[in-house]
A and B are shown apart, each in its own frame.
Chain A
Amino acid sequence: SQTIHQWPATLVQPVGSPLSLECTVEGTSNPNLYWYRQAAGRGLQLLFYSIGIDQISSEVPQNLSASRPQDRQFILSSKKLLLSDSGFYLCAWSQGSETQYFGPGTRLLVL
């Protein structure tokens, strides 16, 4: 069966520091991968999606970037965090246009 992992589970970072969140998927090959952000009490906002290695699309202009160095690894990064980057970050995978399955999420607090 397929599983999706995210780490860390929680993170507290000062403004201006770098960020690296990692997501890995097991039990499937060539998945579509997604990064979402969820502000408190709000719905999910799609940040990036990837249909293959080094094939990444950005949905909104922001202080973040994404990379996919391996088929089942998706990384969310920032060179300098802003206060507004605080939120709940979720990684998801799907096979093509099939249902998306979400990871456990990372709670990021920027102080």
Chain B
Amino acid sequence: LAKTTQPISMDSYEGQEVNITCSHNNIATNDYITWYQQFPSQGPRFIIQGYKTKVTNEVASLFIPADRKSSTLSLPRVSLSDTAVYYCLVGFSGNTGKLIFGQGTTLQVKP
């Protein structure tokens, strides 16, 4: 399973767009890129998943360049409630679904 590297922490202000980049240099051909959000004392919540180019849903956008060695989670106009830890995961689990969680990026949104 590919290893990921992301910033330990980020600060932002309400209303700003936040971009969190994840590096995954040894991503494999079959690997997907998935982002989760976790609030304190809660289980991680799926945000978005992609394979290449751009994926957008009601919560976020995911930008993946052609070489797929990195990805960027974009959160539009963040609010205080977006303060959380964001995890980037890369892998193709086959039938087992094994995921490797890193330490994630702690996003602090300030008023």
Which A residues form the contact surface with B (CB < 8 A)?
32, 34, 36, 42-46, 49, 51, 57, 59, 88, 90, 92, 94, 96-105, 107
Query: Is B51 part of the contact surface with A, judged by Cβ < 8 Å?
Result: no
Contact A96–B102 (Cβ < 8 Å): no
Q: Which of B42, B95, B97, B104 has the most CB of A within 10 A?
A: B97
Q: Write the residues of chain B forming the contact surface with A, with a CB cutoff of 8 angstroms.
A: 34, 41-46, 49, 87, 92-104
CB distance from B94 to the nearest CB of A (A): 6
Q: Are B101 and A43 in contact (CB under 8 A)?
A: yes
A99 touches B43 (CB 8 A): no
29 contacts between A and B (CB under 8 A): A42-B103, A43-B87, A43-B101, A43-B103, A43-B104, A44-B44, A44-B87, A45-B101, A46-B98, A46-B99, A46-B100, A46-B101, A49-B98, A51-B95, A51-B96, A90-B44, A96-B95, A96-B97, A97-B92, A97-B95, A97-B96, A97-B97, A99-B49, A100-B46, A102-B43, A102-B45, A104-B42, A105-B41, A105-B42
Q: Chain B: interface secondary structure?
A: loop
In the complex, the answer to whether A88 meets B41 with C-beta atoms within 8 Å is yes
Contact between A104 and B49, CB atoms less than 8 A apart: no
> B34, A99: Cβ atoms under 8 Å?
yes
Name the one of B41, B87, B92 contacting A107, with C-beta atoms under 8 angstroms.
B41
Please name all residues of chain A whose beta carbon is closer than 8 Å to the beta carbon of B41 when the two chains form the complex: 88, 105, 107
Taking CB atoms, residues of chain B closer than 8 Å to A97 are: 92-97
Expressed in whole angstroms, the minimum distance between the Cβ of A86 and any Cβ of chain B is 14
5 closest A-B pairs by beta carbon, nearest first, are A102-B43, A44-B101, A43-B101, A94-B97, A97-B93
**In the docked arrangement, what's the CA distance between A89 and B99, Å?**
15
Task: Give Cα A71–Cα B40 distance, bound, in whole angstroms.
Answer: 30
Whether the Cβ atoms of A101 and B46 lie closer than 8 Å is: yes
Residues in A with CB closer than 8 Å to B104 are 43
Q: How far is the CA of A49 from the CA of B96 in the complex (A)?
A: 7
With most chain B CB atoms within 10 A of its CB, the pick from A45, A94, A97 is A97
